[in-house]
Amino acid sequence: MTPEVTQAIEEIRAGFPEADVEVTEEADGGAVVFVSPVDPGPQYQQRETWIGFRITFQYPYSDVYPHFVRPDLTRVDGAALGEGTTPTPFEERPAIQISRRSNKLNPETDTALLKLQKVLTWLRSR
């Protein structure tokens, strides 16, 4: 992995000390990461999910995008998950894709850890 990707994963491990962080290195210097468990929020029937994403070798100059969560994530109120979500496999796992793009990416301040926090904050605000 590139030094930047390695640092990103260290930050994620520190940021989610209660979770298991599973990392698969990629030949080009990137990595596929699964963090589990995380709480998607009380509006979902499932209070735990894994969340997966790819940190590419271009990081931090490329967005960490998209993210994926368990495929059976369901709202308590029965409503659809709605915009920004699509059933799509990730790394051969059935999943729900969460498409939140950082259109104002700033490589100096945007990190994979903060992006993960932003995605979870968004999911919990739905």
Partner 1 sequence: MSSTLEQQVEAHGRTVEIRVNKKPVEVKGPRVTGLEIKQAAIAQGVKIEVDFILSEELPSGETKVIGNGDVVTVTKHSKFTAIADDDNS
Which range of residues in 23-31, 32-40, 44-52, 108-116 is near partner 1 by CB under 8 A?
108-116
Contacts of 49 (CB under 8 A, 6+ apart): 36, 37, 38, 39, 40, 69, 70, 73
Are residues 60 and 50 in contact, defined by beta-carbon separation less than 8 angstroms?
no
Q: x/- binding map, residues 53-92, to partner 1, per CB under 8 A? A: ------------xx----------------xx--------
Q: How far apart are CA 111 and CA 44, in angstroms?
A: 27
3-state secondary structure of 110: coil
Give the residue with the Cβ less far from partner 1, 47 or 124.
Answer: 124
Q: How far apart are CA 37 and CA 5, in angstroms?
A: 21
Which range of residues in 21-29, 35-43, 47-55, 101-109 is near partner 1 by CB under 8 A?
101-109
3-state secondary structure of 8: helix
Give the residue with the Cβ less far from partner 1, 52 or 60.
Answer: 60
The yes or no reply on residue 103 touching partner 1 (CB under 8 A) is: yes
Residue numbers of the site for partner 1 (CB under 8 A)?
A: 11, 13-17, 65-66, 83-84, 99-106, 108-111, 113-115, 117-119, 121-122
